Chain A
Amino acid sequence: MLQGYAVVGLYLLLSFALLGVVLLLWWFLRPKKPNPLKLETYECGVQTVGDAWVQFRAQYYIFALIFVLFDVEAVFLFPWAVAYNQLGLYAVIEMALFLLLLLGGLLYAWRKGALEWA
């Protein structure tokens, strides 16, 4: 049973190795002639101002929170999806209840303006 994962592991190692090889290859091949213009974040366009470490708006947090909720919900969908052949209608009703409640919650949050950008 673990043999199956060995392939995944091997694939992982291989992809890391490939990445390393490509990077190294480029390192050797490319000419190194840095100048200030080249080191800009964007070669053309507006000059960047300040640091990339900036504070996010608190409002994003709500989105992340709701994302976590639906992620957890999705986790429950996987076992349901593989089990419902054996269980039939019963499982469909149960999952429908589960989802309806969450959908109701989402609609409520939306209607109450928790998802507004303002």
Chain B
Amino acid sequence: MGELIAFYLLAGIAVATALAMVITRNAVHSALFLVLNLVVVAVFYLLLGAPFVAMVQIAVYAGAVMVLFLFVIMMLGAERVGGTTGLRWQVPLAGALGAALIGGTLFAFLRAPAGLAPVGSPPVPFGDPAAIGERLLTTYVLPFEITSVLLLIAMIGAVVLARDSGPEGK
């Protein structure tokens, strides 16, 4: 019961912050609402019994990635979005598509065919860091090391981006 109350409370905050992020005209405020949204989602992960995923969500998404977002916003000096955009027709279209998505999802949930039973249930501490660490370093050691290569290219990408930028940068 307590979990249900917590869920509805958090779901309300999540939806509200997501809407606020889209609606607000100030890009910095948008980013801050997104931080709040990401934190709430992290709490959802906790409720689902995945503490490690929640931690990653906070550290990487709400932390580092949002810092990057804010840097870009400040760098471009684009914190205040102008009044209206030229793509007015997108608004009703986005509304219609969004409604279609919600309708489709509802339909799928309400009329789920019998064949779609849950595929087993995940082990309860699903994101148990120790278990993750063990799998990561034994079974999935190759993907793990490739992640390092992926991060390496990102670093080289930083070198490429930093190269030859004049005093004003670009």
Direct contact of A and B (CB under 8 A): yes
Query: B-contacting residues of A (Cβ < 8 Å)?
Result: 1-2, 5-6, 9, 53-62, 64-69, 71-76, 78-84, 86-87, 90-91, 94-95, 97-99, 101-102, 104-106, 108-109, 112-115
Query: A-contacting residues of B (Cβ < 8 Å)?
Result: 2-3, 6, 46-47, 49, 52, 55-56, 59-60, 63-65, 67-68, 71-72, 74-77, 79-80, 124-125, 129-134, 136-138, 141, 144-145, 147-149, 151-152, 154-159, 161-163, 165, 168-170
Given contacts A69-B155, A78-B129, 7 further A-B contacts (CB under 8 A): A60-B75, A68-B64, A75-B60, A79-B133, A82-B129, A83-B132, A101-B151
Of B3, B6, B68, B130, which one neighbours A65 at CB under 8 angstroms?
A: B68
Q: Number of residue pairs across A and B with beta carbons under 8 Å?
A: 164
Q: Which residues of B contact A68 (CB under 8 A)?
A: 60, 64-65, 67-68, 154
A51 to B36, CA, bound (A): 26
